[in-house]
Amino acid sequence: MSRFGATILDADGLRLTAEEKALFRDTNPFGFILFARNIDTPDQIRALCGDFREAVGRDAPITIDQEGGRVQRLRGPVWREWLPPLEFVQRAGEAAAEAMYLRFRLIAHELHALGIDSNCAPMVDVPGPATHEFLYNRCYGTAADQIIRMGQAASDGMLAGGVLPVIKHIPGHGRATADSHFELPRVAAPLDDLKAVDFAPFRALRDTPMGMTAHVVFEAVDDAPATLSPAMMKVIREDIGFDNLIMTDDISMKALSGSLTDLTRASLDAGCDVVLHCNAPLAERATVAAAAGEMSDAAQSRAERALGYRNAPDDVDIPALDAQLKALLGGAAYG
């Protein structure tokens, strides 16, 4: 297998430009990610996914953020409009784990039909009283043990539907009181508290094929955000035990400061396997791809292992699953 570029990149619009095709052909990104600007019709999405894979000459993974609630790129009327995860879990009550499995099995069905074979979920951050509102209703509960059950159900549903889950945000974004899209959150909790609560879902779900970092400073470990911290990456690999593929959260987010070249190299040097870079001009994507270069031996091994989780969807009756989910939630499965 050829060596992958250590990046996950995006596209400007509904189809690739000639310049994007040339960049992707020359730098061979590990995979790609879709946003709302890339979404129009099912046929258009399938064609765009074909563009990506043709550019690199292989069946590259294509991911998306389809959590439900505020964070879902596929929307009605063509696709299901999902309730926010926290509201969904609360409505499901004692049937929440079954409902969460069905939710993500149906999401996987919609994604796989379009050529999308990965999803940036489950999000197993543990919220607290001061959790920033950008994150709170995206959570799967309010306690670590509940979130573990929901996260496992979500992951199982996606894998059954032929979609690779990406667990986020390692090692936990729940205590953050700032939105990392706009500023760098800092968490001052003692390490023992972090291990007992925040890290627990990631430790329990450490076999998830891929994970995404948190742009959060954990002062008990390091003064650098987790994405850029060798000390925190050691905690993730050794204490949490996550030895599968780790991608950064988007390095263009304002939580991180510095040049794209420096951020790319720092994240890879810290121990991330692949750099996610989004929502930027082509020249910036080229800068990141050049700085990232090819995956290390360890990253390539993890990438190949992650891709090994891709399977054809199981043979299920999708309308029956949809009816089952609606019954569990009293007909209120969608927003």
Residues designated catalytic? 181, 249
Which of 335, 330, 325, 328 shows the shortest CA–CA distance to 103?
325
Category of 268 on φ-ψ map: left (φ > 0), alpha (ψ -120 to 50) or beta: alpha
Structural tokens at position 73: 């790129």
What is the distance between the alpha carbons of residues 297 and 300, in angstroms, rounded to a whole number? 5
What is the distance between the alpha carbons of residues 217 and 233, in angstroms, rounded to a whole number? 12
Residue 70, exposed/middle/buried by CB under 10 A (0-12, 13-18, 19+)?
exposed
Please give the distance of CA 310 from its chain centroid, rounded to a whole number. 16
C-beta separation of 39 from 15 below 8 A:
no
C-beta separation of 180 from 135 below 8 A:
no
What is the distance between the alpha carbons of residues 156 and 151, in angstroms, rounded to a whole number? 9
C-beta separation of 303 from 295 below 8 A:
yes
C-beta separation of 117 from 310 below 8 A:
yes
- First-residue to last-residue Cα distance in the chain: 43
Which of 68, 67, 88, 71 shows the shortest CA–CA distance to 333?
88
C-beta separation of 310 from 63 below 8 A:
no
C-beta separation of 9 from 24 below 8 A:
yes
Q: Look at the block and give the residue holding tokens 């060596």.
A: 3
